[in-house]
Structure 1
Amino acid sequence: MTALTKLFRTTTFRLSLTYLALFSVAAIVAIAYIYWNTTVLLSRQLNQTIDAELKGLAEQYRAGGLDQLVRIVAERSRTPGNSLYLVADKDGKQLAGNLSAVSPQLWDSLGPVEFFYSRPAPGGVERRLAFANVFRLPGGSRLIVGRDIEDRRELSRLIRSTMLWGLGVMALVGIGGGYWVSRRLLARIDNLSATTRTIMAGNLSGRLPVSGSGDELDRLSQSLNSMLSRIEQLMAGLREVSDNIAHDLKTPLNRLRNRVEEALREPYDENVYRETLERTIEEADGLIKTFNALLSIARLEAGAAGDNRDRLDLSALVSDVAELYEPVAEERGITLKAQAEGPIAVRGDRQLLGQAITNLIDNALKYGAPQAQGGNGWAPEVDIRAEVHDGTAEIIVADRGPGVPESERERVLGRFVRLEESRSEPGSGLGLSLVAAVARLHGGALRLEDNEPGLRVVLSLPLEGDALVNGTAAEPSTGAELRPT
């Protein structure tokens, strides 16, 4: 396909030709309408003027006969202008008027008629168009009263010429403009296509060019660039997850295999075998738990979970989960405090929100324990609050542990991300990832802040009025089962 053929087949060029055709038709109709109305107006005025003169001449004829008519016509003929007069006897001899000669067709005519006549002009004689009324007087005489309408014919020629030239220029400008616009648009689309081919070849860092004009192609490019950034981020996360799976799951699998292999090398001992099997089952349960967490995060990020949303009291949910963890906190020597402003209505999946709160409290108890403080002088405690801030429901879990450096707070929300200081604690590094996914599913957000010292985790959720499902509000659900993991 040649470049010209490709250009002519573009939608922009075809639209330009379509608009040109429509505009040309509209222009022709408008000019024809104006020309027709102008012609009708001029013809009406011409007829009215000639009729008025004829009535005046008729009165003169009735008052003084042919002689007075001849005298009046002779006087009027000497007045400069476009008026034409002729009074002739039955033999065609001119008695008065400024028409020196008439054709046989005009002489034999009766009533309104158009005709050509000749008159002196610089350099010779010119032939002009006229319109007149022809009357036969008693005795065979003729009276012709008319007007020179050559100017009107010139106006008609001028309008036709202007229309033709205008349409020609319009076609030239329209086709040229369509060609220019199509070339520019085609060049931008070719750039977009080249970039997309680069991206399809595997270079996810490529971005569609933005001209800065803010037009629809720029807006489309910006939207696609945002999508590509998200895809690149997801692919990077997928690679990171794959690396983390290979690193974090390979060790427990090797440990599990080595333990079984070691037990098989030892002499048969039922107690040893039982202990080995129990530890193997425990290790396998941990792996299953990790895979379940990965599947849950994947389902949450795909929007395939959280269908069972009800109106619930966030304060009551926080209190219930905190009560379940009081024995764990007491065993670790940590003071667990739970506070709530009162009923806070949100709409969400009770089990998923309960799982998210459970993960936040579990992390705080793990990393806010005395052995994780590093001697910062604060008593080990975990503070859990549910409150409304700026029209948003917030669950705040704060501890007095070592905290998370500001540079690492975004990274720890990823999968399998665990800071080095926490490697001594059991876990897979999926807890905060799951909480972040639950927050996004409910239209909220998760952020990490400094508790000075310690970590302050804030899970924000839209209030019930901003989180309706299918446009209806449900009654608060009761008796839902909550199982910490």
Structure 2
Amino acid sequence: MLPTKLLKASTFRLTLAYLALFCISAGVLFGFVYVASSTNMERQTEETITAEINGILDQYRLRGLGGLRNTIAARAAAKPDRASIYLLVDRTDRIMAGNIDRWPEGQDKDESYFHFLIETGEDGDGEPTFHRAIARGFLLQNNARLLVGRDIEERLASQAALLNTLLIGGGIMIVLGVAGGLVMSRWMLGRLDDVNRATTRIMMGDLTQRFVAKGSGDEFDELARNLNRMLDRIERLLAGMRQVTDNVAHDLRTPLNRLRSRIEVALMDEQSDESRELLEATVRDADSLIQTFNAILSIARAESGEQQAEFEPFSLREMAQDVTELYEPLGEERSITVHLRAQADAVVVGNRHLVAQALANLVDNAIKYGAEGGHVLVEVRTRPVPMLVVTDDGPGIPAEMRERALERFVRLDPERSTPGNGLGLSLVAAVARLHEARLQLEDAKPGLRVSIAFPSLPERGAQLTRQEVRSLA
């Protein structure tokens, strides 16, 4: 049985389409050859019969019926194998001369060609054997009749042999065409598999992966060289971006932390109420700047895909339990119960730290915007795919605003009365894209339900190395 992948390959389908077109063309050509050959054989037979008829009729005009009888008798004796057929009968159908024993049944007095059977002997069981023949009949004086024809059994056998040869040749051509298509498709799939494996590793963050050129100088080698050059440039750009990011992290985040520390030191001294309030507000602003800066860096790194190289299997239930326990005290401050429901465990492949950060953002938003005294439910589901679900009983997000809520620095609170920088859901969306997960915002009636559906292990397994797959078993 052919592999499903091979049957779905575009190269195999293209080969089959070309083979079908070629078979149709070859069938038309073979049909033309067969019809032309058969027609030529039939014409040669009729021309041979016509030449014999003309010679016999010349004898009849010169020598009369008696001379015709002698001519027929002489020709019949000269060709006892009855390749040529002669028969002369009088008006009572009595045989005057010839090499067959009776006039064919059903033949009237017209002079057109007709086909009939002649008995040629007996087979091993004593049954008569017959050959097919073609002939023309003529009405002579005194209602005598003349029959001249040919045994066409050998010609028909040649036509049948030609037809069988063409059919066998066509069958061999189809078999060779399909075999060639399979070989070519396997070769093409092999080259494409090399490209797919390399691109999979690249998408998982391994930018050191390169495409191998076979040295044949074909289009695949040219594509490999171009892709390698592109990867070299991308790697240099990402390296430059990481360097800039590190520099920014060092040059901005460190001074912000120092500024915050100095303000805290200043708060230890005696301050007026107004000064203390200003310094505390400055600390909060510094914390907000640091959080915003960290969120931007996390989103940038998630969207770059470089952290796919750190993917590994981890338990959603254990990760969700850690996040839930971390945010339970924050919920208690607003009399909100944070509850985890995970009846079964689900294992996914990804970056545990980023997924935990995304879940933390969802739980934090649920507590921040949920109804005071309400509930926040964190669920780990295994069907139909591994899934994280966070549900609150707050005001929710209108359906027309849910897409916009995933954009950066977008806050749906027009008065911006709640703390935040508008990057929480943006980071969740970036983490979901990094893990090829489906992020969905729904109405919980009341409240908001946010779900992250991860690819199941079989789907993700196609992108893992053998060692990683074995570690999941």
Provide TM-score, normalisation by structure 2: 0.48
Provide TM-score, normalisation by structure 1: 0.47
Bigger Rg, structure 1 or 2: 1
